[in-house]
Structure 1
Amino acid sequence: MPHAVRTAPVPPPVRTPRAGRDLPVAVVVGLLLLAVVGASLFIRKEGFLLVAALAVGAGMWELAQAFARRGIQLPLLPLLVGAVGILVSAYVAGPEALLVAFMLTAGGVVVWRVIDGNGAPALRDATAGIFAAAYLPFLAGFVMLMLAMPDGALRVLLFILLCVASDTGGYAVGVLIGRHPLAPSVSPKKTWEGLLGSIVLACVVGVVGLRVMFDGDPLIGVFLGVATVVTATLGDLSESLIKRDLELKDMGSLLPGHGGLLDRIDSMLLAAPVVYLILDVLVPVG
């Protein structure tokens, strides 16, 4: 009788998360980030200014590394100095100072790059630098405008919770029942079902948060939730377009389970001006 040939047992295939994240790590990192933000807001809110400056600086560095793949060199030094100036100006002196600081940063980027080298590459790099200044510190400056208000810590907290709700609701519903792609050519994992989940959870957070923090009208909370989801989704898709053009999956790897820091704040950047304006007009200080 021939002996049976013994074969080594085949290990079961490793299952990867459907949405492509290491979920436990992502949750822990997300909770740690929320803890840092909460501590900086309520121990001394100027501390959040430092957190925002570090986040914008890290995002700028990630963007510079990504653009370098296409031979575009961002003038990092004037951009980082200008970013701090934009954030501080917005916090200390208001919307007019935010605009002036952005214009000075844009001018400084152009002068720096032209002095460093002329010709078509200099023009291209300077244009990319102005885009980076508008995309990161200028949009983040609207968060500083919220922070500067007497009840600024609560406004910023509500803004962050709305953005987190938009991301969490979309992720959870998209993983569970997502079937119809929202923008398959830009971000294949985003679905219409996930967008609905984002709207529902953000509206709940908007209504509860506005009622608890500001004793506000629930209808304003619904409006705030929908506006946040629309702009946050556009912000996320905009960054996805940039990554697709640069042939990148993530902008970086600074945050385990999330990718780059810019991958976490992309939706917040576009939502910040909208949330600031809605709260400023419909929920006055007092």
Structure 2
Amino acid sequence: MDADYLPFHPNPSNPAFKVPLGAVDAHCHVFGPAQQFPYAPERKYTPCDAGKNKLFALRDRLGFARNVIVQASCHGRNNDALVDALNTAGDLARGVAVIDPAITDEELRHLDAAGVRAVRFNFVKRLVDSTPKSVFQGIAERIAKLGWHIVVYFEAPDLEELIPFLSSLPTTVVVDHMGRPDVTKGINHEDFQRFIRLMTEHENFWTKVSCPERLTVSGPPYDDVVPIARELVDLFPDRVLWGTDWPHPNMKSHTPDDGQLVDVIPRIAASPAKQQALLVENPMRLYWG
């Protein structure tokens, strides 16, 4: 583990908000354990081990029924830890993989059988080396044939340059963490309005209204992030997802309390109908439909 790495919260609080029956944590990770699933040599960070058993224990503690497990950059393109977690969970989990463009059709079928339903394209420069868009385009065409979709991770200043490429993708596109807006600029700033326009003009685009702990400037209880997330839930109630982002890789400011993160949900999805869509209907339609 890196010397400045903050491990996940060892004893998160029990949330006051009770999630609806069948709720899905639609963005979380598994890390290692490294002795069984070594981290990628090209990784930009070395996390603490955070294996499947700890993830599933958190799921049960917070009251969720299912997980969508996203391959993290510390494991590179080796999805073994992800597949192992999916095989253990059975129908209670689905996966988002990171794949090598040279992957065989047989290997893709293996991932599909395990429960992978998407690939992730990461454009955050501090986390991954740059990949030519032509490589991503080739992967997109292959996974579209499987009925998978694409998850994209980028930071708000990079969106304008990415729009032509993102708009060309042939599948549903899910944007991680609201496109990482600068919350100090507010919902009326051009940067956030550009993201709103992207979502409005392309009905195949979804977003995760997750990670207030990453986006906040003021810290818990994340009052500065709530208006941004609530705006997206209100505008696109049938195309939003939510997740813990456990075990919260590369947090520098504080160790998030997952129970406290759950208690943000009713502040961004203000009605039972919106909560049901955010936590149950939308992820079930996208990942289990």
User: TM-score normalised to the size of structure 1?
Assistant: 0.27
Over alpha carbons, which structure has the higher Rg?
A: 1
Q: Higher relative contact order at CA 8 Å, sep ≥6: structure 1 or structure 2?
A: 2
Report which of the two has the higher share of strand. Answer: 2
